[in-house]
Structure 1
Amino acid sequence: MGLAIDAACDLPQAFLQQHAIAVMPITVRVDGEVFMDDRKPAEIQRFIDRRLGSRSHSAETEPCPVEEIQKLFLEKLVLEQDCVFCLTITATRSPINEHVNRASFAILKNYRQVREQAGIPGPFMMRVVDTRNIFAGAAPAIYEAARLIAADETPAAIRERLTHIANNSYGYMLPRDLYYLRARAKKKNDRSVSLFSAMLGSALDIKPLLRCYRGETGPVGKVRGFEQGAESLFGYATQRVRAGLLVPMVCVSYGGDLAVLTHLPGYAELRAACGECGVELMEAPMSITGMVNVGEGAVTLGFAAEEHVAEF
């Protein structure tokens, strides 16, 4: 059994390599420049180094086309595995889930001939899972999928468990620049950040804490300043770690140099709590797609927990 994800799922490169996770790329075009968002560190760094700043909000993003997904599977994955779980960010925010589902029809129709020619017996299975979250919020389901595959669980048991984790995954985001976020939202016809809140936020340095849960994204709190926002978010995550998680991991992604995380208030306490509770704290660079959509320097954080009320 194997795993495939889309590039907007934020996880460390070392984890992807350890579990041989295939990445479905996203093409990003900014003012004539093209970036292949495939979670490769070199390409992410190239985007950061270009300092595109405020221009990135006008970027065009193209999720992996149906034909490319078919090619990835029929030329590679069906020859390497008997079953692949394909996890995507929430279908409410990206068409990638729809693309994978459409591609699956041709893949399941044509895999037999490909495998027979390679002398590989038996059927091939493909399961598409909507993580119902974005960026670091997609990480818990992927982490759990890797654990269950390593434990040699059955595909049916894995599918059921991943559905449960997806329904109980929480993804939080702290943006640095509300004007950028609002400009990007306007381009995508997304009214979740109004001009008024962007103006108010910049004037008073008030930042919203945004949450994605079961495919729905919206503000759950307001904080004054990015530093205080980070302290509030990491403090909340520390509480959830101590209260108990459904998957023993917290993933934090950052739209820039990961070394910045260590210096943000509250992060040392979160790291200590994870160590005490046997929870793995994963740090990942935010995808190019993520930075284009929410701006460089944003923080996202994901974990899976029983349903609860977020208090900020």
Structure 2
Amino acid sequence: MRVSIVTDSTAYLPDEAVARFGIDVVPLSVVMGDDVLSEGREASPADVAQALQRRVRVTTSRPSPEAFAAAYRAAAEQGADAVVSLHLSAALSGTHEAAVLAADEAPLPVRVVDTRMVGMALGYCVLTAAQTAQAGGTADEVAAAAEKRAGATAGFFYVDTLEHLRRGGRIGSARALLGSALAVKPLLHLEDGRIQPLEKVRTSSRAIARLEEIAIQQAGAAGVDVTVHHLAAPERAEAMAARLRERIPGLRELYVGEVGAVIGAHVGPGLLAVVVSPW
């Protein structure tokens, strides 16, 4: 059986990995003012950061079911026997739902997986799926490997302000922090596919130091891959990455990457995130 892998643009995989495994990436859209732009093709992280700084209204939208249907048809035409389609958390986006609708009409079996992750937390699940498929795994084996990695992966992040998450409706139970009389810098995490508050810290420097400690504790002594994500904060991300390289004993690979336009629209400039994924 030849299993083809499909994901969406919020996985933020390195281009080299997408090309090496032949992963089909279906883009979400970013709406800036009157313009509807495809993530990664027409809308860059810098575009979104600048728009938010200018207080331009920025929203996002899922791919259409037809976009996924086209990806599944292409997989069939290229000789695939099945597709495993892996996507960001259904609690954060309707992308998974669009993929399910398309799968019902696909010309080959399609397994749609809600990884309950986003960013490289999703990306690691996709890479594991692709490696399993390349090794000859069945669709069930590919999906199971991705779900296992998702269950072990954790994502933690710092934002300069909760305002962008509030505007986009993605703030979840972290909304309670908005009413605080204290000037806090929140640390958040992904829990059961949703954005949840983790800790409140008084200053950005303390929040970033605490984010580092949490990532190191999460990694422990096991073998892990780590990603440091950012939006419009490359120096902050590289400094964090350098410290993690020295302090995580079981580190296999560390990737530094800017989040794309879709996630950038919801977190705003200054984001710093760490994904820890055992392998």
Shorter-chain TM-score bucket reads 0.7 to 0.9
Residue aligning to 1:309: none
Q: Which residue of 2 aligns with 1:153?
A: 137
Question: Which digits, 9 at most, give the CA deviation of each residue in 1:193-221, with x for residues without a partner?
Answer: 43x733647x63x2111111222321111
What secondary structure is seen at the aligned counterpart in 2 of 1:129?
strand
Give the deviation of 1:50 after TM superposition.
Answer: 4.0
Within a 5 Å distance, the mapping from 1:122-271 to structure 2 comes to: 124-185=108-169, 191-194=172-175, 197-198=177-178, 200=180, 204=183, 206-244=184-222, 248-256=224-232, 258-264=234-240, 267-271=241-245
- 1:303 and 1:242 mapped to 2: Cα distance? 10
Residue 11 of structure 2 aligns with an amino acid whose one-letter code is C
Helix, strand or coil at the partner of 1:133? coil
CA 1:273/1:140 → structure 2, altered by over 3 Å: closer, same or farther?
A: farther
Q: Supply the distance in 2 between the matched residues of 1:72 and 1:240 (Cα, whole angstroms).
A: 36
CA 1:166–1:256: 2 relative to 1, 3 Å: same
- Determine the C-alpha separation between the residues in 2 that align with 1:175 and 1:162: 28
Q: TM-score, normalised by structure 1?
A: 0.78
Contact 1:235–1:269 (8 Å) recurs in 2:
no
Consecutive unaligned residues of structure 1, counting only runs of 5 or more, are 112-123, 307-312
* Partner secondary structure for residue 55 of structure 1: coil
2:178 partner letter: A
SS at match of 1:164: helix
The 5 Å alignment of 1:48-63 reads 48=48, 50-53=50-53, 55=55, 58-63=57-62
Task: State the distance in 2 between where 1:259 and 1:85 align.
Answer: 36
- C-alpha separation in 1, matches of 2:22 and 2:235: 26
Residues 167 and 278 of structure 1: CA distance in aligned 2, closer, same or farther (over 3 Å): closer
Structure 1 residues 260 and 33: CA distance shift in structure 2, 3 A: farther
SS at match of 2:90: coil
Cα distance between partner residues in 2 of 1:176 and 1:235 = 18
- 1:219-277: CA deviation from partner (whole Å, max 9, x where unpaired): 111222223222211222123323325xx31222211254441134xx32212245x42
2:266 maps to 1:293: yes
Secondary structure of the structure 1 residue equivalent to 2:105: helix
Distance 1:49 1:224, change over 3 A: closer
Asked if 2 retains the 8 angstrom alpha-carbon contact of 1:136 and 1:300, the reply is: no
Change (3 A) 1:49 1:298: closer
Q: Residues of 2 paired with 1:11 and 1:252: CA distance?
A: 12
Q: Which amino acid aligns with 2:177?
A: S
CA distance in structure 2 between the partners assigned to 1:147 and 1:89 by the alignment: 19
**Aligned equivalents of 2:204 and 2:28: distance in 1?**
29
Q: Which residue of 1 aligns with 2:12?
A: 10
After superposition, give the CA deviation of every residue in 1:124-182 in whole Å (9 maximum; x if it has no partner). 43221111122233233122212222333333222222222223332222111233333
CA contact (8 A) 2:228 2:273 kept: yes
User: For residues 278 and 250 of structure 2, what CA distance do their matches in structure 1 show?
Assistant: 14
The counterpart of 2:246, out of the listed 272, 280, 285, is 272
CA distance in 1, matches of 2:12, 2:186: 21
The residue identity in structure 2 corresponding to 1:93 is: L
Distance 2:72 2:235 in 1: 36
Partner of 1:34, secondary structure, is strand
Conserved in 1, the CA contact under 8 Å of 2:172 and 2:194? no
How far off its partner does 1:46 sit?
A: 5.2
- Contact persistence 2:26–2:63 (CA under 8 A): yes
**3-state DSSP of counterpart to 1:177:** coil
Partner of 2:37: 35
Residue 95 of structure 1, CA deviation: 0.8
Secondary structure of 1:140 counterpart: helix
Among 58, 76, 79, which residue is 2:77 paired with?
79
| SS of residue in 1 equivalent to 2:132 | helix
- Structure 2 stretches lacking a partner, 5+ long: none
Change (3 A) 1:299 1:217: same
Percent of pairs with identical residues: 21
Answer whether contact 2:164 2:265 (CA < 8 A) is retained: no
Inter-partner Cα distance in structure 2 for 1:92 and 1:257: 27
Give the number of aligned pairs.
276
TM-score normalised by L of structure 2: 0.86
